[in-house]
Structure 1
């Protein structure tokens, strides 16, 4: 299914029935990462699985994919479906979009589950890494994609999930250079939303990887302490929906049924 946002299509899929759960993927991913999760959740919930700007079947929008603009596109999907309130499960960039949505449309948020994500903005050092990534993408997108995806897994899981990594790399290589660059710019310039997270502390869970190379455990613990949001850590790195699939799904179901 599609909805028009800024006169460009945003692709999404729905399945199941009941209270709504919006699933938002991360950078270099698409809505299909949630298929195993949806196969369980749609037995009790209406699952709304969205391709964010420049990913999957959703076209790029402009030269910078702002989190707030993607949040507005998510809202356009909910309006099309007449959904007035939903829980949100966002992985990495998807978590940033979910937080932006909570800032813009707080009355529509039932729960926030931020997976391998954060409310902090990029540090200056991290922004420089993004700038180098943009240059590399323009020079050799395929090399960047291969390196970036593999490095998201914990060391022990790089071999264990080698087939899944290969499939993810092949899928990510389909993304245009322009779309990848626009997303990197959006990630680099995203706003600090710690206050937004603190305001939703009673509705939010931080879900992370003990060995996440991007969202470090120390940073997750600091954010949880600063905002009062519960933190649940799983084995593995940045790709908890794969690296800790069963444990994560059990926790997500528990939270959504509370």
Structure 2
């Protein structure tokens, strides 16, 4: 079911399906709830699955010229409160993971678990911040130029032909985004703080899924994070940043097992 609510005078779009314990799926940069269609269908056999278009993405509107991870997390909380949800599992792909981490810092007693799906607690390096500033300048001139280059590069090189149709679909979806939404997300990611402490001191159990050929998050850094005490499950795939496509079954199996294990305990 597809629905909207108003937050800060802005429409926020979300979908829900299934019954049971709640799983909230948060998409990444240049993505939307559409990326989760397959996973939501599978997970809804056991759970109530909520997918949210984060501000400036999909069918949700923009708040301003910077969408901080905290503002996006507050938007997730507004949707959850509207649905009268008390506690829930959170799964965030890439930027969605940054939002889930901000949520975990703001509301540490709410998440039953957080899965960082090709995402990290580390902040942007100084070099990455420069890259984001360059991307913002490109977007101001031609958002299509950024979209056409960025999305294919998230896949392992040999995956780009294999998943040509999926890449084309993601590019088409990203082209619907307003320039303001793209820039606001880039600015928000650039300013996010280090949240490594959550993996050591938080009451929240974590799962981390990473890819050996991920061009965004070096596997060496991810392996460091996987050794943190609150990381209770982990998966390293052979592919890139888009495990939900490149390693669909393996990632879904790991995610499902992790959530089931938390539910049992």
Separation (CA, whole Å) in 2 of partners of 1:7 and 1:146: 32
Listed as ranges, the gaps of 5+ residues in structure 2 are none
1:239 and 2:242 matched: yes
* 2:253 corresponds to: 250
Partner of 1:81: 83
Question: Is contact 1:90-1:115 (8 Å) kept?
Answer: yes
Corresponding residue number in structure 2 for 1:213: 215
Tell me, yes or no, if the aligned pair for 2:112 and 2:204 is still in contact at 8 Å.
no
Contact 1:98 1:112 in 2 (8 A): yes
Q: How far apart, in 2, do the equivalents of 1:100 and 1:202 lie?
A: 13
CA distance in structure 1 between the aligned counterparts of 2:230 and 2:73, rounded to whole angstroms: 24
Matches within 5 A, 1:196-211: 196-200=198-202, 203-211=205-213
**Whole-angstrom distance in 1 between the partners of 2:204 and 2:95:** 22
**1: CA distance, partners of 2:209 / 2:173:** 25
TM-score, scaled to structure 2: 0.95
Structure 1: gaps (5+ residues): none
| Separation (CA, whole Å) in 1 of partners of 2:205 and 2:145 | 39
Instruction: Determine whether 1:44 maps to 2:46.
Output: yes
Q: Kindly tell me the number of residue pairs found equivalent between the two proteins.
A: 258
Alignment partners' CA distance in 1, 2:29 and 2:223 = 23
- Secondary structure at the residue paired with 2:227? helix
Residues 129-151 of structure 1: CA distance to partner in whole angstroms, max 9, x if unpaired?
00000001111110110000010
TM-score (norm 1): 0.97
Q: Cα distance, 1:121 vs. partner?
A: 0.2
Structure 1 consecutive aligned stretches of length 4 or more whose deviation exceeds 3 Å: none
Distance 1:97 1:179 in 2: 15
- For each residue in 1:116-135, what CA deviation from the matched residue of structure 2 results, as whole angstroms up to 9, or x when unmatched? 00000000000000000000
